[in-house]
C-alpha cells in the first residue's frame, strides 16, 4: 500500500539553527499538509499546500516557517531559526484531493531543539 | 474557534468487549469526520471516515454520526489487547482543508 515517507526520523538541532524536514507524499495525491504534535498534546495543523502554493496556514505557521515542493516528489518544511518550543513530532500528510478527503500521515520526524 | 472534544480516558475494557469512543464538535456545518488510531510514539493511522448521518461499518469498527447533535462515535467490537492505543477524532470543517483533532481517548484492553 502506498505510504507517506518522512526523513529524518529524528533531528537534533541547536536553538537558532535552520532545519529542513522532508516528506515524500503518496504519488497520486495532490494536497499536502504539515502537522505537529508537542509531547502529550493534540495534533495541530500547520499548513496545507496545493498546486505549488500554500492554500491554508495556521497561526503557528509564522515567518520562521516555510514549505516547498522542490521537485515532483518531495515536500519540505523549513524552520529558519529554531526555538526550544519548536520541539515536537512533525507529521506530513497527503490526500488525493482537498476538502473532505482522508489525509494519510507519514511516520513523523521527532525534532529536538537543544 | 473550531473545537473537537473527546474524553481523554483511559477507557478500560476487557478483551472481547465492545469499546465505545465519543467525540463532539463545535461547528454545525462540518462535513467530514475521521477516526485515527495512534500508538504511543507513532503517527496517526486512519481507521474510518464518515460523511453522512448514520452508521458505517468496517470489520470490527463502526463509526456513527449524528450531525444534529454534533456527535460522532466509534465502536470497536470484540476488542483485542492490540487495540490498546489513543483514538483521535478529527473533523474537517466546511471551507477549510485542515483537520482539527481532539485530544484523543486512550483505550486500554485487558487480556
Asked if A56's CB is within 8 angstroms of B43's CB, the reply is no
Q: What is the pLDDT of residues A75-108, one digit of tens each?
A: 999 999 999 999 999 999 999 987 788 999 999 9
Q: Is A105 on the interface with B (CB under 8 A)?
A: yes
Going by DSSP bridges, is the β-strand pair B11-14/A109-113 parallel, antiparallel, or unpaired?
Answer: unpaired
Of B36, B94, B96, the CB nearest to A56: B96
Q: Which residues of B touch A31 (CB under 8 A)?
A: 97
Beta bridge partners, B48, equal B35
- The DSSP annotation for chain A comes to ----EEE-SEEEE-TT--EEEEEE--TT--EEEEEEE-TTS-EEEEEEEETTEEEEE-TT--TTEEEE--SSS-EEEEESS--GGG-EEEEEEEESSSTT---EE---EEEEE-
CB-nearest to A102 from B31, B34, B43 is B34
- In the sheet that holds B54-58, the strands lie side by side as B4-5, B19-25, B71-76, B61-66, B54-58
User: pLDDT tens, A50-82?
Assistant: 999 999 999 999 999 999 998 888 999 999 999
What pLDDT digit, counting tens, does each position of B9-46 carry? Answer: 999 999 999 999 999 999 878 889 999 999 999 999 99
DSSP-assigned letter for residue B16? T
Answer whether A48 sits within 8 Å of B34, measured CB to CB: no
As a whole number of angstroms, the distance between CA B48 and CA A17 comes to: 39
C-alpha A67/C-alpha A80 separation (Å) is 11
Amino acid at each position: 500500500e502506498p505510504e507517506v515517507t518522512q526523513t529524518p526520523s529524528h533531528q537534533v538541532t541547536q536553538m537558532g539553527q535552520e532545519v529542513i524536514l522532508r516528506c515524500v507524499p503518496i504519488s497520486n495525491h495532490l494536497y499536502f499538509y504539515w502537522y505537529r504534535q508537542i509531547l502529550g498534546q493534540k495534533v495541530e495543523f500547520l499548513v496545507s499546500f496545493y498546486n505549488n502554493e500554500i492554500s491554508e496556514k495556521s497561526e503557528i505557521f509564522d515567518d520562521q516557517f516555510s514549505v516547498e515542493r522542490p521537485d515532483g516528489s518531495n515536500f519540505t518544511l523549513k524552520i529558519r531559526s529554531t526555538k526550544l518550543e519548536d520541539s515536537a513530532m512533525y507529521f506530513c500528510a497527503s490526500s488525493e484531493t482537498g476538502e473532505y478527503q482522508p489525509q494519510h500521515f507519514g511516520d513523523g520526524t521527532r525534532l529536538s531543539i537543544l | 474557534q473550531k473545537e473537537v472534544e473527546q474524553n481523554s480516558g483511559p477507557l478500560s475494557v476487557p478483551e472481547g468487549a465492545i469499546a465505545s469512543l465519543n467525540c463532539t464538535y463545535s461547528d454545525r456545518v462540518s462535513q467530514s469526520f475521521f477516526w485515527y488510531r495512534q500508538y504511543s510514539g507513532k503517527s496517526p493511522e486512519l481507521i474510518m471516515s464518515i460523511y453522512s448521518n448514520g452508521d458505517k461499518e468496517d470489520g470490527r469498527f463502526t463509526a456513527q454520526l449524528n450531525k444534529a447533535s454534533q456527535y460522532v462515535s466509534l465502536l470497536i467490537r470484540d476488542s483485542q489487547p492490540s487495540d490498546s492505543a489513543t483514538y483521535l477524532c478529527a473533523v474537517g470543517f466546511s471551507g477549510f482543508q485542515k483537520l482539527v483533532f481532539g485530544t484523543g481517548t486512550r483505550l486500554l484492553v485487558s487480556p
